[in-house]
Amino acid sequence: MPVRRPTDPTVPVLPKPPPISTESYVLGSYGVPSIDAHDAAFLAGSHAVAAKRGVRVDPRVLKGMMGGESGEDGTYPVERCRPFDGHPGPRSCGPMQIKWGFHVQRCPECDEGTVAGHVEMAAHIIGMTMLAHVCDEYEAYIRGYLTSDDINGTSQQAAVKAIKKRVARMEADADAGPSKPKPEPPEPADPWRPYPYPKMVNLIVQKPADDNAGFNRCAFRRPNIRGFCTHITDGPPSQTIEFFASFFGTGGERAWDALTDLVVGWDGRIGLLNDWRDPERGGTRAGWANGGVDGLEGEGVAFFRRFPAINEVLVSCEHAQKAGGEWSDAMLASTIELRTAIAQELKCPADSYPYHPSHGGVSIEQQHRNFATKSCPAEPYIGRYDKAVRIAVKEKLAAWQGGSVVAPPPEPVKTFTDWGMTLAHVANYFGVLHRVNAGGTVDKLPFDPAGPVSLVWLKRCEEEGKFPEAEEMRLFDSGIRPGQEWWITFEGGWTLVKSAGDTRDAWRWLDRLEDA
């Protein structure tokens, strides 16, 4: 059996230093620009320790260390020190987290007030530990730098693994060749730059000379515009935008009737009948299209209280379709573009649209029915298209303003009474209110969660525990004061009354007045 001889003792040999000999040496990047910004400091620190100590510390390891010590933040201030979170122990400062008082003797000339000084001090700590223990940078990091698990819970092994991963990514990036100069990022677009108005056909309507020919003279409207008001023509979709220009103009059937700003045809073409943006082309004419406010409802209530001159401040837009008729895709696309351009000009933020925070939170999207005693723009717009149009405008505004629209979380089922009823329950009890208009037409009005009539009814229902069905809404001559009054009757004798001419008047329960 052969005799085993003891092995000959060997002279310890330090790891081979990395080939860092020229200024063209590229550290490579692992994807954190704020750390890349200190590449010159990592190289300088490595060169300084090689010159002073005779040991080369891999600058990529120094760079990987900064990533871990600073939390991947190359802007970490040199004067920021731990423990700032209540942990006891010596203060660790700067992007390399150095306990300066423990190590100042290693490099008295290192500048504590600069990142380069902190990097060189870190290189001295690692380099001197490599010499003392004849080890590589990673073992030196554990022996002389992170001598125990971090107070945040990161183990020594995990910290070393993370540094090695960063170094590997730097090496791969450097091996790929010299990085091309990164182009300067483009200047961010002005979020309030104008959104282009869609193409419109110039059909400026000429009216009789009398100021009462469907409009009133007013100050230039464009600076005072506060929203968009949706109408339908309630005629066949075959009526063209040219037809409406003649219809409203001098000699036309409605020459003395309400002027509108825009009309969108079934084919999607937009007729510009009154240009609110140009004082020479109708910008000082406030057409009567938006009304009268004898039927304030829903979002129109808050809007009117803040901006009562609705014919001046709302861009009126007719859409060529009858009540109950489907809207064409071209018509919807055009109206979406119009609304987007107006909302952008009003600087309405996408995340709050259609409600404008600078205008008291009112909706800049209005419908004729919110002001008048008619259901214009009628179904299917009210129930189907309105929500889809608002979503589309919101998305376009978000893209133009440089943001994005985040889908809201699903809303919980709302209860509308102390009795735990949902909107569907309440709407079923309310039924349909038949509003008989002055001309004899009848509008069928369901429960409106934002409507004054609906809310006054609901409040009394909650108080009395009864939910009578709506019946009729009619105009009557007032027996107490001048003018007419709206009367609304409900099952069981409940009766609401309100002045038809005084927009400040509130709904009152006639059958309870004697109890007041």
Question: Domains, the chain, ranges and CATH?
Answer: 33-176 (1.10.530), 200-401 (3.40.80.10), 416-510 (no CATH)
Contact 314, 346 (CB under 8 A): no
Between 184-198, 201-215, 405-419, 427-441, the lowest mean confidence (pLDDT) is in 405-419
pLDDT of residue 12: 44
User: Does 395 score more than 50 pLDDT?
Assistant: yes
Phi–psi pair at 351, nearest 5 degrees: -70, -15
| pLDDT grade for 85, boundaries at 50, 70 and 90 | very low
Q: What is the dihedral of CA 102, 103, 105, 107, to 10 degrees?
A: -160
**What CA–CA distance (Å, rounded) separates 139 from 342?**
65
User: Does 17 score more than 50 pLDDT?
Assistant: no
Within 71-188, residue ranges assigned H as helices are 100-103, 115-133, 137-144, 156-175
**What CA–CA distance (Å, rounded) separates 350 from 396?**
8
**What CA–CA distance (Å, rounded) separates 251 from 262?**
19
Using alpha carbons, list the distances in angstroms from residue 131 to 39, 58, 142, 189: 24, 14, 14, 55
| pLDDT grade for 9, boundaries at 50, 70 and 90 | very low
Average pLDDT over residues 136-144: 90
Nearest in space to 27 (alpha carbons), one of 61, 66, 76, 65: 61
**Of 297 and 4, the one with more pLDDT:** 297
pLDDT of residue 450: 78
Render pLDDT for 247-269 as a digit per residue (tens, 0 to 9). 888 777 777 778 899 999 999 99
pLDDT of residue 4: 40
pLDDT of residue 96: 93
User: Does 329 score more than 90 pLDDT?
Assistant: yes
Q: Mapping DSSP to helix (H, G, I), strand (E, B) and coil, where does residue 422 land?
A: strand
Contact 283, 228 (CB under 8 A): no
Contact 337, 198 (CB under 8 A): yes
Q: Which amino acid is at 68?
A: G
User: Does 363 score more than 70 pLDDT?
Assistant: yes
Contact 27, 63 (CB under 8 A): yes
pLDDT of residue 256: 77
**What CA–CA distance (Å, rounded) separates 352 from 391?**
12
| pLDDT grade for 394, boundaries at 50, 70 and 90 | very high
Q: What is the 3-state secondary structure of 216-276? A: EECCCCHHHCCEEEECCCCCCCCCCHHHHHHHHCCCCCCCCCCCCCEEECCCCCEEECCCC
Between 23-27, 160-164, 304-308, 382-386, the lowest mean confidence (pLDDT) is in 23-27
Pairing outcome for strands 365-367 and 262-264: unpaired
pLDDT of residue 439: 77
pLDDT of residue 10: 42
Residue that has been written with the tokens 């008291």 in this structure:
360
**What CA–CA distance (Å, rounded) separates 270 from 260?**
12
**Of 383 and 342, the one with more pLDDT:** 342
User: Does 407 score more than 70 pLDDT?
Assistant: no
Between 197-211, 227-241, 274-288, the lowest mean confidence (pLDDT) is in 197-211
Render pLDDT for 102-116 as a digit per residue (tens, 0 to 9). 888 999 999 999 999
Average pLDDT over residues 182-195: 78
Contact 164, 30 (CB under 8 A): no
Using alpha carbons, list the distances in angstroms from residue 491 to 422, 430, 454, 465, 466: 21, 10, 14, 14, 10
Render pLDDT for 435-450 as a digit per residue (tens, 0 to 9). 988 778 888 999 988 7
Between 24-28, 39-43, 91-95, 297-301, the lowest mean confidence (pLDDT) is in 24-28
Using alpha carbons, list the distances in angstroms from residue 104 to 129, 146, 162, 338: 15, 17, 27, 68
Q: Mapping DSSP to helix (H, G, I), strand (E, B) and coil, where does residue 23 land?
A: coil
Residue that has been written with the tokens 């060529």 in this structure:
320
Q: Mapping DSSP to helix (H, G, I), strand (E, B) and coil, where does residue 317 land?
A: strand
Average pLDDT over residues 271-276: 95
* First vs last C-alpha separation in the chain: 121
Average pLDDT over residues 316-331: 94
Between 21-25, 65-69, 190-194, 285-289, the lowest mean confidence (pLDDT) is in 21-25
User: Does 6 score more than 60 pLDDT?
Assistant: no
Average pLDDT over residues 290-310: 84
Distance, CA of 273 to chain centre: 33
Q: What is the dihedral of CA 55, 61, 66, 72, to 10 degrees?
A: 170
Query: Average per-residue pLDDT in the chain?
Result: 84
* % of the chain beyond a pLDDT of 70: 84
* % of the chain beyond a pLDDT of 90: 48
Between 245-249, 429-433, 451-455, 480-484, the lowest mean confidence (pLDDT) is in 480-484
Q: Which amino acid is at 291?
A: G
**Of 89 and 482, the one with more pLDDT:** 482
User: Does 132 score more than 50 pLDDT?
Assistant: yes
pLDDT of residue 101: 82
How many C-beta atoms surround the C-beta of residue 86 within 10 A?
Answer: 7
User: Does 392 score more than 50 pLDDT?
Assistant: yes
Token output for 375: 């259901």
